[in-house]
């Protein structure tokens, strides 16, 4: 597609439930990132995929968080046993290969509210 596509755009879930957030990167982009932004805060890095390399998971806050990227394209971020502190907007971004000058483009985000 023309831009990074994320779904759902909004999700309200009960505490303890699992949620899945989907990201479809820009066609041809081999790098894909997940960031989290809590209300009024900056962007917190979660995980990064580059081609077929092992993902950089160093930003995942707990083992309740996991992400997959199938076929080098679509990615799914899964949050198990959601907690209220997981409420945030989850931003996906993509770029061309790992070269320092490549621009990263963001999707519109998935707004997660845990009640």
Partner 1 sequence: QKEVEQNSGPLSVPEGAIASLNCTYSDRGSQSFFWYRQYSGKSPELIMSIYSNGDKEDGRFTAQLNKASQYVSLLIRDSQPSDSATYLCAVREGNAGNMLTFGGGTRLMVKP
Closer CB to partner 1, 33 or 82, in the complex: 33
Closer CB to partner 1, 19 or 47, in the complex: 47
Tokens standing for residue 1: 């597609």
- Smallest gap from Cβ 74 to partner 1, in A, equals 18
From the centroid of its chain, how far is CA 103? 17
Tokens standing for residue 22: 């989907």
Cβ pair 96, 4 in contact under 8 A = no
- Provide the binding-site residues for partner 1, judged by CB under 8 A: 31, 33, 35, 41-43, 45, 48, 50, 56, 91, 95, 97-109
Neighbours of 80 (CB within 10 A): 14
CA-to-CA dists, residue 67 to 24, 27, 45, angstroms: 13, 19, 13
Q: What is the DSSP letter of 86?
A: G
What's the rounded Cα separation, in Å, for the pair 49 and 58?
12
- Smallest gap from Cβ 27 to partner 1, in A, equals 18
- Smallest gap from Cβ 81 to partner 1, in A, equals 27
- Smallest gap from Cβ 107 to partner 1, in A, equals 6
Closer CB to partner 1, 34 or 79, in the complex: 34
Closer CB to partner 1, 79 or 92, in the complex: 92
């Amino acid at each position: 597609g023309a831009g990074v596509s994320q779904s759902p755009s909004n999700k309200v879930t009960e505490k303890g439930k699992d949620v899945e957030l989907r990201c479809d990167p820009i066609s041809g982009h081999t790098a894909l990132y997940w960031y989290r932004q809590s209300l009024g805060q900056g962007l917190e890095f979660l995980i990064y995929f580059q081609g077929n390399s092992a993902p950089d998971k160093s930003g995942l806050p707990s083992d309740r968080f996991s992400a997959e990227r199938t076929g080098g394209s679509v990615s799914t971020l899964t949050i198990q046993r959601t907690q209220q502190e997981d409420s945030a907007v989850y931003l996906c971004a993509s770029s061309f290969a790992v070269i320092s000058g490549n621009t990263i483009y963001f999707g519109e985000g998935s707004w997660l509210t845990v009640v």
